[in-house]
Amino acid sequence: MKTKGAISLFQTYQRSSHRKRTLQGYLVMLNQFKAPLRGNGVGKHWLRRGIPLLESLTQGLTRSTRRLRYGQLKAFFNFVINRFDLDIKNPCNTSLLSKTFRTPKQSPRKIPDKEAIDEIIYNTKNLRDRLILELQARCGLRVGESLKIRVSDISERKIVLREPKSGKEAEVAYMPEPIAKRLEEYIRTQNLGPDDRLFPVSYSTVRSMIKGLGEQLKISIRPHDLRRHSATYASRNGVPLEIVSKVILRHQDLKTTQAYLGRVSEMEAIRWMDIIHGK
């Protein structure tokens, strides 16, 4: 098979398993990739072309974009090698390329503890603002998802999330009973109709609100920290990782969920050893 055919097959596979935004990123890389290997068959010439090709595809780009293109090209080679059972190595797996395009280690962001999150929520007098906070910190919603919710998307303890980040048509989030009751009260007091947005505010408004609430407690907090807290709190209280991943965060991959969870402190490690084995 020629390279052009391999690219077409890869794109068909991508469309069945990736969201639209991801597909657009791959399309940029694949269009650049077609020209230098036009007319060549799938095979060992990739090994010779791997390094210069990747350099040409990433020349003049930022470091983060260079790493993105490296990851995309690596995924393409892996797909074709596995699909056609080729006896060749992925040219992106050379030590030189792996070292050149590796992602730098990032220090995990400190997630505020439960007491701080609870204080922020309980000190919020405005019902609308409190619900925005609780849907993130208790239900794992992203800010963007919260701001898209319409009254018709709510059914008792469930919220239908339209056009979620996963690329699916819709996902379902679940609420604890107290939050569902507060939400019902909010809809009633605000006299909202089925097509009305629950929270007709912008992301910047929510970000400023959360930042200000954190400053009152002398802590640095961002909107996404609340979603991370929802996952970490559930995990630390014995909720199975599958539930944290698929129900609370709605991730497709457990590895993504593990990256969300806060670092275990020494005190917490000792507490869990006592819980597991008894004092």
Annotated domain spans of the chain? 3-100, 114-277
Superfamily name and number for 114-277: Intergrase catalytic core (1.10.443.10)
**Which phi-psi region, left, alpha or beta, contains residue 60 (left: φ > 0; alpha: ψ -120 to 50)?**
left
245-269 average pLDDT score: 77
Collapse the DSSP code of 125 into the 3-class scheme (helix H, G, I; strand E, B; otherwise coil) and give the result: coil
The predicted pLDDT at position 221 comes to 92
Q: Answer for the pair 90, 74: CB distance below 8 angstroms, yes or no.
A: yes
Question: Distance (Å, rounded) from C-alpha 80 to C-alpha 198?
Answer: 46
Q: What is the pLDDT of residue 186?
A: 96
What pTM did the predictor assign?
0.66
Distance between CA atoms of residues 91 and 78, nearest Å: 10
- Of the two residues 185 and 268, the one the predictor is more confident about is 185
DSSP class of residue 93 equals: G
- What is the 3-state secondary structure of 191-217? CCCCCCECCCCCHHHHHHHHHHHHHHC
Q: Is residue 161 within 8 Å of residue 153, measured between CB atoms?
A: yes
The stretch 149-176 carries a mean pLDDT of 90
Q: What confidence tens digit (pLDDT) does each residue in 4-63 have? A: 788 888 888 887 767 777 788 788 777 776 666 555 666 666 656 666 777 777 778 888
Using pLDDT thresholds of 50, 70 and 90, give the confidence band for residue 177.
Answer: very high
Q: Encoding tokens for residue 79? A: 């797909």
Confidence of residue 179 (pLDDT cuts 50, 70, 90): very high
What are the tens digits of pLDDT across the range 88-131?
788 788 777 777 777 776 666 677 888 999 999 998 989 999 99
